[in-house]
Structure 1
Amino acid sequence: MSAREAILSGIRRNRPAGDFPLPPIPDFAPLVGPDLVAEFADRLKRMGGRVAEAPEGGDPLGPVRERLASAGVVASAVPEVEGNRDLAQVAAPADLADVDVAVVRAVFGVAETGSVLFTQEELRVNAVAYLAQHLIVLLDPRDILANIQAAYRRPDFARAAYAVLHTGPSATADIEGVLIHGAQGVRSLTVVLLPRG
């Protein structure tokens, strides 16, 4: 028996009898107004990200086409954007170390925090959201929720083996308050509001 199995076996043997349901999640009043798209964009901007806005009736991906065209390696997990790094062929996360731009679709966004949720289904390789230099996220505006409590009630958390909320690009600050983006992860995070096909 491995150490892990011995520990888990000991926990199971010593677990108190009875059913112990999780406490109910309180329903907090949203800290955002009724325009969830505007609130989401504002919070995302505060965290160093941005919502790429296309002109009315224009190409929704227009604001990111230049970044995609200038990228050497594009890893796309969405049918709307063609990449040149096939995520299905990635054998190890280190294979993504040279990715300039990754394009993924978020399950949903959270207006209160400017966050987007990814699961293993959207990312295909979990590390792509961290190792790429720039992250472009497609988000259906109808999938923007008011707050974290609404997000936790979604079934995506319960059925996903891996789920992560991203809020802006990677950032760190030193003691003097100098903020640096991209220190440990993506240097930029751009959200494109694009309804699901």
Structure 2
Amino acid sequence: MSSKDQIIQAIQKVKSDNKTLPEIPEFRVPEDLLATFILSIEGNKGQVISKEDFQSWMEEKGYSKILSNSERLEVSSSQILPSDPHELAELELAILDGQWAAAENGAIWLDDTQLKLRAIPFITEHLVITVPESNILGNMHQAYEKIGAQHSGFGVFIAGPSKTADIEQSLVIGAHGAKSLTVVII
């Protein structure tokens, strides 16, 4: 008998007790989800605006290289969605639709159905994500319940612009992704 067979036999002989997993407690949810979400995004160095203020915000910023996958905002894209993400190296602004958001930390869920190209939120200089107010949940437990077992192939929570810091506590915004995040509440 080979050593592999001996190991497999030894494992098969072990009797395990089927123990149930512990119950996950209900966590408190903030009363005012929108206000908590806004505070979380601002604490993450992002900003929140209303759909009504979006056009004037766009005019003020004056971005010219724009890619919008949003179905919630009317924006003219100056960039077409390429098959090669390297073609987006000069992208100034990407506008995407978020699916769910968690008020407790400002995390917004995006998956392949919104992104179309996984690199978009990381390669753009500035990022806009739309979130319907009705899709703001209290915490990550609720967000994961809503996401469930979706099979899009890729998903990511984004909670602000890219940030990194070194041991000397020098914070750099935009080192690994977007330099800014603006959330538009729909």
Q: Under TM normalisation by the shorter chain, which class is it?
A: 0.7 to 0.9
More deviation, 157-166/134-143: 157-166
Q: Does 1:147 align with 2:139?
A: yes
Residue equivalent to 1:82: 76
Runs of 4+ in 1 over 2 A off after TM superposition: 20-25, 155-160
Which of 93, 96, 107 aligns to 2:85? It is 93
* TM-score, with length taken from structure 2: 0.82
* Cα distance between partner residues in 2 of 1:123 and 1:46: 25
Question: Helix, strand or coil for the counterpart of 1:44?
Answer: helix
Residue equivalent to 1:26: 24
* TM-score, with length taken from structure 1: 0.78
Query: CA 1:74–1:157 in 2, change beyond 3 Å: closer, same or farther?
Result: farther
User: Unaligned regions of 5+ residues in structure 2, if any?
Assistant: 1-7
Q: Does 1:169 align with 2:161?
A: yes
Question: Helix, strand or coil for the counterpart of 1:154?
Answer: helix
1:145-169 deviations in whole A, cap 9, x for unaligned? 1111111111455332111000100
More deviation, 127-136/150-159: 150-159
**Alignment of structure 1 residues 80-159 onto 2, 5 Å:** 80=73, 81-87=75-81, 90-155=82-147, 157-159=149-151
Question: Helix, strand or coil for the counterpart of 2:150?
Answer: helix
Is the contact between residue 73 and residue 84 of structure 1 (CA under 8 Å) also seen in structure 2? yes
* Cα distance between partner residues in 2 of 1:51 and 1:170: 16
Query: CA 1:154–1:103 in 2, change beyond 3 Å: closer, same or farther?
Result: same
Count of matched residue positions in the alignment of Structure 1 and Structure 2: 172
Q: Does 1:45 align with 2:39?
A: no
User: Unaligned regions of 5+ residues in structure 1, if any?
Assistant: 1-13
For the aligned residue pairs, the C-alpha RMSD in angstroms reads 2.6
Highest Rg: 1 or 2? 2
**Alignment of structure 1 residues 58-69 onto 2, 5 Å:** 59-66=52-59
- Matched residue type, 2:43: R
Query: CA 1:63–1:40 in 2, change beyond 3 Å: closer, same or farther?
Result: farther
Percent identical among aligned pairs is 27
Is the contact between residue 71 and residue 100 of structure 1 (CA under 8 Å) also seen in structure 2? yes
TM-superposed deviation, 1:84: 1.0
1:27-55 deviations in whole A, cap 9, x for unaligned? 3412x52110000010111111111246x
Is the contact between residue 25 and residue 149 of structure 1 (CA under 8 Å) also seen in structure 2? no
* Cα distance between partner residues in 2 of 1:165 and 1:159: 16
Question: Helix, strand or coil for the counterpart of 1:137?
Answer: strand
TM-superposed deviation, 1:24: 6.7
- Matched residue type, 1:51: V
